Amino acid sequence: MNIGIIGYGKMGKEIFSLFFDKLPDANFRIYDIAPSEKNTADVLKTLGKSLKRKKITEEQYESKKDSFLFTDSISDMKDCDIVIEAIFEDVKVKQDTFRQLAETVSENCLLLTNTSTLKISDVFEGIPHRERCFGLHFFYPVKLSGYVELNILPDSSPEAVSKAKALVEAGGKRPVVLEGCYHIYLNQLLSCMVGHAIIMKEMAGVSVKEMNKALAPLFSLAPPFDILDSVGVGLMGKSPENFNIPRCRQLQDKCYEVLQKWTAEGCPQGPLAFLDHMAENEADTGNSCENAEIDMMAYLLNETVNTLEDYSGDKEVLFEAVCDTLGLAEKASYYYNEFGADALFSALDKYKEATGFTSYDHKDKTVWDGYLG
């Protein structure tokens, strides 16, 4: 199999590394505007360390050292079976890249975008043989997430989707197939979680630091504002115009509105800057956050149940992917039983009354029991 990677930034490097490690017989072409000898040297150095530590054999080393090429020419992608694009989030640049690829590769080559914010159909506008075009969204860091989103289009063929699934599984991940307004759903979920945390912060009259600390016990990896800090206000604060789940839109708009406000007030847009900025510019209030855990869990469980009710694919895989993405400290069913349906519904009703947002509308207990009981 010949695999092309377009872009060798943070995501491109991680995607290449995943498949380079997992697919011993694959060949790789990595396109970068300014491919450097350093990239090649770094990969060879890593291979050398693996050989020295006896993670690979001499024969494997010899094979793998000749199995990749860094290039600044799209024409070097001509023999690829699959091309994964992982360049920056500019729809025009992505469109131009895929037009060049479509003129270069065979009509059977899968063309996949790793976009996390753009409308998938727009990325492939005007590309022939649309049956082989869709989204393949990895989470960062790639090696720590167990799931990859396949954001398929109406024209995506079953054969192309199966081929992409097989690639994801060969990389040791589980594919989650998403369609329509549920494209890039796991990113939408994180955006909504941050939006809900913002509303919780405002209603409690506390600082970001205080709310984040109150929510931390729910998460084994990172509470909501840590996720925002990691992603960056600039990226998470992009317009949600391409996120189209009707019940989520008000919450996404709220998140966008507040992140734009914080940016205008001087908050840096890059990653790992938000929490430091807020700590310097926002005083703790000492107000109570005693209901923070149940209020957050009420929203997360509600969104999960609503999504599973809508989803026509493998509900078990999607449920596991949601929990994996959120990084909850316990299973979702634990929190349902711990807090109880009545208290969780009461929390949702409180936020519905305060905001009017449809995100807080909930199914009845029998539906929740079916997924969480």
Using the predicted structure, report yes or no on whether residue 35 has a pLDDT greater than 80.
Answer: no
Surface-to-core class of residue 81, CB atoms within 10 Å of its CB (0-12 exposed, 13-18 middle, 19+ buried) = middle
Quote the Cα angle for 87-263-193, to 5°. Answer: 75
- The predicted model gives 242-255 an average pLDDT of 94
* pLDDT bracket for residue 228 (50, 70, 90): very high
- Confidence at residue 242, expressed as pLDDT on a 0 to 100 scale: 87
- The predicted model gives 125-140 an average pLDDT of 97
Using the predicted structure, report yes or no on whether residue 36 has a pLDDT greater than 90.
Answer: no
Using the predicted structure, report yes or no on whether residue 33 has a pLDDT greater than 90.
Answer: no
- Confidence at residue 365, expressed as pLDDT on a 0 to 100 scale: 98
Distance CA 270, CA 268 (A): 6
- The predicted model gives 248-270 an average pLDDT of 96
Using the predicted structure, report yes or no on whether residue 310 has a pLDDT greater than 80.
Answer: yes
Strand order in the sheet with 27-31: 68-71, 27-31, 2-6, 82-85, 110-113, 133-137, 147-152, 174-179
* pLDDT bracket for residue 76 (50, 70, 90): very high
- Confidence at residue 143, expressed as pLDDT on a 0 to 100 scale: 87
- Confidence at residue 34, expressed as pLDDT on a 0 to 100 scale: 80
* pLDDT bracket for residue 239 (50, 70, 90): confident
